[in-house]
Structure 1
C-alpha cells in the first residue's frame, strides 16, 4: 500500500484476504504434538462428527485447515484482511474454526499484526472478528472491546470506510458479532459492522452505529451443490462481473468453499466422511482467480478472500499478487505528495497526507484543522476553530492559508504577501508554508492568527 495515494478510500482498494486465517496452526508440527489429541477428543465428543475423529488427525486436519502460512507470513505475502473466528475462554479469547478450538490465544494473533504494522507503517490490516459459539452476542462484544484495550491506540473502530491515510500503521476493526448500539460510545468503538446472509451472494444496506449505513455486496457461497468447483468458479466470476459497478461501500468475494463431512453409509465411505476440503477447492480455484478478477472491468475495489494463500498459483497466476496489481490505478493519481499548491483547498472531511503516509492535516467536520499522527491518532497541532461554523480551508493565491466560516476568516497563517508558493504536510509531522526554500510558517513553531 506504500505507493497508493493516502486519500484513496479503502472502498476503492483491491485487498487480498484470508478466510479462517488462524487455521494454519493445524499444520504446525509443534502445535500438533501439543494439541492434536485434545482436538480429536473435542471432535469425538460430537454426536455428528464422532466418526470423523476415527480417521486420525492427519486426515481430519484437511477438513478444518484453510491456511498453511502463519499470520505474519500471510501479511508479509501481501494479505491485508484477516478473518478471525473466536470464542471466549477463561484467559480471554481463543481462536476457533466452527466448533473446534485451535488452542491459540487471540492475543498471539494480534501481536503478530501489531509487529507487522510496526515494521510496515505504510500498511493497514483489516481484522474481522466473528464469534463461533452461541454465547450472547452483546456480552461477547463487550468482553472483546475490553480485551482489545491494549490495542486501542492503533485501532480504527468507527463504523465507516476510512481513507487509507487515516489508517496507515493501524488495524481496521471489522465486526461480525453484533451492532452493539447500546454500548456507550459505540460509534467510535464497535467497528465496521457486517451482518452476513448465510451461504449466498447478497447485497444489503447494513446499519452502522452513529446513524450511518453501508451498502455492501458479498459472495460467500461456501457450500455449492452438485458440480461444486465449477459452480464456485461461476459464483466468483459473476460477482466480479455483476457488482463491480455501482456505489458499494464494501465488496467481498470469497474464493473459499468447503463441503462438510456427511454421515457415511459404510466404513469405506471416506468421500462422505471427509467431504470436499478447503484445500481441494483452493487447488482448483486459486490458479483461476487472476482470470476471474479480470471480470472486474470497472477496476472497483474488492476484498478477495482466499484459502491456502501462497500454495496454488505462481507468477501471473498468483492471486494475491494479481489482487494487489489492481491498485496501480491509485498510485499517486489523487495526491499523496504532501503538497497543497497555491489556490487549492483541503475539502472538509478530507486531509493533506505526508508522502510517507504517517501524518495528515485534516480539515474536520467540526471546523478544526488538526495535524494527526496516523498510527495512534495523536494530535500534534490544531487551529482551534472547532464548532465555529468553518466551511473552507484554503491556501489562497496571496500565500495565506485561511479557515473561513462563509466569508468570515476565523484563523490564518498570516503569510499574505510573502511570496508563499506551497503548503506541505511533511514526513516529520510539521505542516509548513514555504516561499522557495524559506520557511514562512510551521506548525511546530507558529500559531494561527485570529
Structure 2
C-alpha cells in the first residue's frame, strides 16, 4: 500500500510538472505554436498594432503611433499589423496620412517574412489599406499589390474566410481594405465604416470597433471594454478587431494621439490584469509593449 501511495504521488508530481512546463513552453515569438491547428484565428486573443509602421512625426503627438519597429512588434507577440500604403511611382510607401514614415512596403514584408521563416508556427494577419494621395502610377493599386505578392507567393494566404492556424502557419493572412477585381482577394474588409463600431458579413464575419476621432474618452473606453466582453461571450467564428487607438482633435483639428493612448492603454493593461483567460479578439493598439502583448497572449492559455 505504501509503495502504491508513493507511486500515485510520483505520477501526480510528473503530471503537474508536465502541465507547468507546457504553460511555460512558449515565448512571445512563438506562442501560436502551443495552439492546435484546428483553432480558428477568430477564436484567439491576438495582440495587434494600429498604424503599425508609423514611427515618425514632425510635430509631437500628430503622426507617430508606435515605438517598436515591425520586427520588434512581431518578436513581442504582435500578430495583427495595420499597414497603410501610399501608391507612388508603381510602388508602396508607408504613410500615416500625409506623413511619410521613412520606410517602404518591401521593408515591411522583409521583416514579416524573415520573422515567419524563423518562426514557422506563427501567422500574421496583415490589414492593407491605401493611404494619402496616389501619384505617378502606370497601374492600379491592386496590380502593384499583386506585384509584391508575386515576389513571395508561398508566404501569402489569400483565402476569403477566417482560416485556422493549421491553414495559416508560416504565412501572411491578407485582410483587404482596398478594392480588388481579381481572385484570390483575401478577407474582404472593404465595407469598413468610419469612426464607429460595425460588422461586416461575407465569406468572413468581422466585428470591429474603430472609434478613432475621440471627442468622448469615457465612450472610447466603454466601447473598447464592451467589445472585449462581447468577443469573450460570442460565437468564436466571428473575428473581433478592437481598436484601442484614437486621437483627440485639438485646436484647428490638430490630432493629439498620445492623449488617447496615455489614457486608454493603462485601462487595457488593467483589463488584462483582471481578465486572465478567455477569447478577446484582436487588440489593435497604439504604442504596444511587450509586457502588454504578454498579458493578451496569456489569455489563450
Q: TM-score range by the shorter chain?
A: 0.7 to 0.9
- TM-score normalised by structure 1 residue count: 0.55
Of Structure 1 and Structure 2, the greater helix share is in: 2
Q: Which has the higher Rg, Structure 1 or Structure 2?
A: 1
Residue 204 and residue 295 in structure 1: after superposition, are their counterparts in 2 closer, same or farther (change >3 A)? farther
RMSD: 2.4
Task: Please state if 1:160 is matched with 2:156.
Answer: no
What is the CA distance between 1:166 and its match in structure 2?
Answer: 1.6
Give matches, 1:74-223, under 5 Å. 74-90=73-89, 92-133=91-132, 139-178=140-179, 180=180, 182-183=181-182, 186=183, 189-194=184-189, 195-205=191-201, 207=202, 213-223=203-213
Contact 2:195–2:210 (8 Å) recurs in 1: yes
Task: Please state if 1:305 is matched with 2:295.
Answer: no
Task: Please state if 1:249 is matched with 2:249.
Answer: no
Give the alignment partner of residue 288 of structure 1, picking from 256, 267, 273.
267
Residues of 1 paired with 2:231 and 2:46: CA distance?
16
Residue 234 and residue 301 in structure 1: after superposition, are their counterparts in 2 closer, same or farther (change >3 A)? closer
What is the CA distance between 1:160 and its match in structure 2?
Answer: 1.0
> Aligned with 1:23: secondary structure?
coil
Give matches, 1:220-239, under 5 Å. 220-225=210-215, 228-239=216-227
Q: Which runs of 4+ in 1 moved over 4 A?
A: 293-298
What is the CA distance between 1:293 and its match in structure 2?
Answer: 4.8
Residues of 1 paired with 2:212 and 2:79: CA distance?
21
Residue 292 and residue 151 in structure 1: after superposition, are their counterparts in 2 closer, same or farther (change >3 A)? same
> Aligned with 1:17: secondary structure?
strand
What is the CA distance between 1:11 and its match in structure 2?
Answer: 1.1
Structure 2 unaligned residues grouped into runs of 5+: 1-31
Deviations 1:367-387 (A, max 9, x none): xxxxxxxxxxxxxxxxxxxxx
What is the CA distance between 1:152 and its match in structure 2?
Answer: 1.2
Residue 241 and residue 98 in structure 1: after superposition, are their counterparts in 2 closer, same or farther (change >3 A)? same
Residue 261 and residue 131 in structure 1: after superposition, are their counterparts in 2 closer, same or farther (change >3 A)? farther
Residue 242 and residue 6 in structure 1: after superposition, are their counterparts in 2 closer, same or farther (change >3 A)? closer
Of Structure 1 and Structure 2, the greater strand share is in: 1
Residues of 2 paired with 1:61 and 1:151: CA distance?
37
Residues of 2 paired with 1:167 and 1:230: CA distance?
37
- TM-score normalised by structure 2 residue count: 0.81
Instruction: Give the total of aligned pairs.
Output: 265
Residues of 2 paired with 1:241 and 1:122: CA distance?
28
Equivalence for 1:47:
none
> Aligned with 1:63: secondary structure?
coil
Equivalence for 1:320:
293
Structure 1 unaligned residues grouped into runs of 5+: 28-56, 208-212, 264-271, 312-317, 329-450
What is the CA distance between 1:292 and its match in structure 2?
Answer: 3.2
